[in-house]
């Protein structure tokens, strides 16, 4: 139902440290629950720090979410280069072959703009996400570009929120923590 869609956090999550101004790509949604990755929050890690043989790979790793923060995940555009990938959309895939991904980047068979790494993930139990959507914690869209997904768009949350109309424009311009305003 939500796989391949984008969640945009609503202003109701302003006090949530993980999801305030978050944009989440849903990569799995079934009767067991939902998994996604936060696209617009960089971690303090670089790929070179997580793989000793990759000192030259200064590729940022993003905060996928608060679940299992000791795991690394990635999405990519090159399904033919990986044996084990899950299709998210026609052009976006969820991979789990970390060492293979590093090797492909190092060998210049995949560009850093075609892959995005995450530490941890965002997860919801069965019906939990539906309840949060009903509570208006999240807005949903399936209108996005690959550049938005694979790039670091500082204004990704703002630009997507504004697509929902004038009511959200005020919130899209709010500071990181409106309580300090």
pLDDT tens digits for 39-89?
999 999 999 887 666 677 889 999 999 999 999 999 999 878 888 899 999
Contact 101, 76 (CB under 8 A): yes
List, in sequence order, every residue forming a beta bridge with 33; answer none if it has no partner: 30, 125
pLDDT the model gives residue 65: 97
Q: How far apart are CA 92 and CA 108, in angstroms?
A: 19
The pLDDT-based confidence of 178 (bands split at 50, 70, 90) is low
CA pair distance 130, 136, nearest whole angstrom:
10
Categorize the per-residue pLDDT at 175 as very low, low, confident or very high, splitting at 50, 70 and 90. low
Q: Rounded to the nearest 5°, which phi and psi values hold at 53?
A: -90, 15
What is the reported pLDDT for 58? 87
In 3-state terms, what secondary structure has residue 178? helix
Question: What is the rounded average pLDDT of the residues 100-109?
Answer: 92
In the chain, where the domains are located: 6-180
- 22, 25, 156: which is closest to 89 by C-alpha? 25
Whether the Cβ atoms of residue 168 and residue 21 lie closer than 8 Å to each other: no
CA–CA distance, 82 with 94 (Å, rounded to integer): 10
Asked if residue 170 has pLDDT above 60, the reply is yes
pLDDT digits (tens, 9 = 90+) for 109-155: 999 899 999 999 999 999 999 999 999 999 999 988 888 899 877 88
DSSP 103: H
pLDDT the model gives residue 166? 86
CATH topology (fold) of 6-180:
VC0467-like (3.40.1740)
């Amino acid at each position: 139902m939500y796989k391949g869609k984008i969640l945009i956090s609503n202003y109701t999550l302003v006090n949530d440290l993980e999801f305030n101004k978050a944009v989440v790509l849903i990569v799995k949604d079934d009767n067991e629950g939902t998994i996604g990755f936060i696209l617009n929050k960089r971690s303090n890690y670089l790929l070179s720090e997580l793989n000793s043989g990759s000192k030259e790979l200064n590729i940022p790793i993003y905060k996928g979410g608060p679940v299992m923060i000791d795991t690394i995940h990635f999405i990519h555009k090159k399904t033919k280069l990986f044996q084990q990938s899950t299709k998210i959309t026609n052009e976006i895939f969820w991979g789990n072959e970390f060492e293979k991904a590093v090797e492909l980047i190092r060998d210049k068979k995949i560009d850093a703009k075609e892959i995005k790494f995450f530490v941890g993930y965002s997860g919801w139990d069965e019906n939990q996400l539906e309840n949060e959507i009903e509570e208006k914690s999240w807005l949903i869209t399936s209108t996005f570009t690959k550049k938005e997904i694979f790039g670091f768009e500082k204004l990704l949350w703002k630009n997507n929120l504004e697509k929902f109309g004038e009511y959200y424009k005020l919130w899209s311009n709010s500071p990181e923590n409106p309580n300090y305003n």
